Amino acid sequence: MTEIFGIPTQALAGQLLIGLINGAFYAMLSLGLAVIFGLLNIINFTHGAQYMMGAFAAWLLLSKLGIGYWWSLLIAPVALGAFGVLIERTMLSRLYKLDHLYGLLLTFGLALVLQGLFQNEYGSSGQPYRLPQEFAGAFDLGFMMLPRYRAWVVVASLIVCLTTWYVIERTKLGSYLRAATENPTVVQAFGVNVPRMITLTYGFGVGLAALAGVMAAPIYQVSPQMGANLIIVVFAVVVIGGMGSIGGAILTGFGLGVIEGLTKVFYPEASNTVIFVIMVIVLLIRPAGLFGKER
């Protein structure tokens, strides 16, 4: 058996793949957080709960209505996006003129309430989500087996991330978003309905979390805590990448997933802490994050 640094290539590739999968979710979630923070100046602690609700939406659609994975990919983000719009209009929009802390408290409280409601209804044990038929089986890459669904998750999340990046950094719509992130007053005085843009941006960010949730459903157990467990790491990813940087969020998401995977191979004891160690180092050297700007 071939080895690299005394590690069987198969184990190395396997952990790299797990790292890439985790990284795909880190990237999609931190992307949504970065977009929301950029325009709303709100640290959306409800993001994990919204991701969890996306997974639950997929599970409910399948088990109660018999609606499958592909439709869930569309329905769950749209429904949760609408839910986000409702939250923004009724609650968040009252907080923009106040200190950051209020937005953090509100979204954190909301996350606890939502998790509590789901736990009350469905218990804390996870619900399995049946893998769609099309994804049964694996590709034989020679040195390892690559399950079809995992390959799909990595490719799909890359497409989602790059499309979002392109829209924000390279289109007219994105230029409104970037400009309003810098100076909403001037953008609104040009005739752009900035409050509506803010509402839709929050809805989009929440929809992105829900989409990640649907994609996660067949891999992880669908449980009320699934978001809470993940979101802590995602916040570390956002801090490392730099608040408000779109490309930074994507690169750091995938990069840290892979680093975490490699740590599992080379020094398993540190695999749960490596991201936080990196966060501490980055904060000491570059307080604004790797790709962030001081603001």
Which residues of the chain form contacts with other proteins (CB under 8 A)?
Answer: 172, 175-176, 178-179, 181-183, 185-195
Distance in Å, CB of 186 to other proteins, minimum: 4
CB of 217 to other proteins, least distance (A): 36
- In whole angstroms, give the CA distance from residue 46 to residue 176: 25
Nearer Cβ to other proteins, position 64 or 172? 172
Residue 73 or 192: the one with the smaller Cβ distance to other proteins is: 192
Compute the least distance from the CB of residue 215 to other proteins, in Å. 30
Residue 165 C-alpha from the chain's centroid: 14
Which residues are CB-contacts of 275 (< 8 A; sequence separation ≥ 6)?
A: 233, 236, 237, 240, 256, 259, 260
Q: Nearer to other proteins by C-beta: 11 or 290? A: 290
Helix (H) or strand (E) holding 49: helix 47-65
DSSP states of 94-136 as a string? GSTTS-HHHHHHHHHHHHHHHHHHHHHHH-SSPBP-PPPGGG-
Closest CA to 54 of 274, 213, 160, 174: 213
Nearer to other proteins, 231 or 246 (CB): 246
Rounded to whole angstroms, the Cα distance separating 109 from 231 reads 14
CB of 179 to other proteins, least distance (A): 5
Q: Name residue 8's beta-bridge partners.
A: 3
In 3D space, the residue among 272, 249, 260, 193 whose CA is nearest the CA of residue 47 turns out to be 249
Q: Min. distance of Cβ 44 from other proteins in angstroms?
A: 21
Least distance (Å) between residue 191 CB and other proteins: 3
C-alpha to C-alpha distance for 93 and 193, rounded to whole angstroms? 14
Instruction: Tell me the chain's radius of gyration from C-alpha atoms.
Output: 19
Read off the tokens for 69: 């994975």
Taking the least distance from each CB to other proteins, the nearer of 190 and 267 is 190
| Dihedral in degrees, nearest 10, Cα atoms 261, 256, 247, 50 | 90
Nearer to other proteins, 142 or 191 (CB): 191
CB atoms within 10 A of CB 190: 10
* Pick 134 or 169: Cβ nearer other proteins: 169
As a whole number of angstroms, the longest Cα–Cα distance in the chain is 66
CB of 205: closest distance to other proteins in angstroms? 18
Query: Shortest Cβ distance from residue 181 to other proteins (Å)?
Result: 7
Question: For residues 91 and 189, which CB has a smaller minimum distance to other proteins in the complex?
Answer: 189
